Amino acid sequence: MPHTRERMKTKEDYKRAQRIVKTLIDSWDPQMLLAGGAPDDEFDEEINEIVRRVPKIKSEEDAIQAISLVMSSAFDTEEFTPEKCAETGKMLFALCKEESSI
């Protein structure tokens, strides 16, 4: 079976996913960077990488792994283990499910 790259259906889907993930990650504010005065775009690179993974998210575990991998590569791997990203990953999966078109 050839490898196919999953993508969002429309540009609007991508923008909606981006808003959802940004709201989630910014409210989580790992390491309290935003609360400490970091700029509003502090997590934009990580958010965009998570958004690119959204079409492949089919379960809570997929969402947890996506957040853990992206945040670990950007920050500290021990701080962003799947266990420590579980709550946020579950929330991401629930939001993706609600927005079934993304």
Per-residue pLDDT of the chain (102 residues; tens, 9 = 90+): 333 345 677 899 899 999 999 999 999 998 899 999 999 999 999 999 999 999 999 999 999 999 999 999 998 878 899 999 999 999 999 998 887 655
Q: Evaluate whether residue 1 is within a structural domain.
A: no
Can you say how many angstroms the Cα of residue 8 is from the centroid of all Cα atoms in its chain? 14
pLDDT of residue 2: 36
Buried b (16+ CB within 10 A) or exposed e, 47-67: bebbbbbbbebeebebbbbbb
Query: Which pLDDT value is given to residue 78?
Result: 86
User: Does 21 reside within a domain?
Assistant: yes
- 2 found inside a domain: no
CATH of the domain at 46: 1.10.340
The whole-model pTM stands at 0.87
CA distance 85 to 66: 9
In a domain, 65, yes or no: yes
Domain count, the chain: 1
User: Has residue 50 been placed in a domain?
Assistant: yes
Examine residue 41 and state whether it is found in any structural domain, yes or no. Answer: yes
Instruction: Supply the range of the domain harboring residue 67.
Output: 11-98
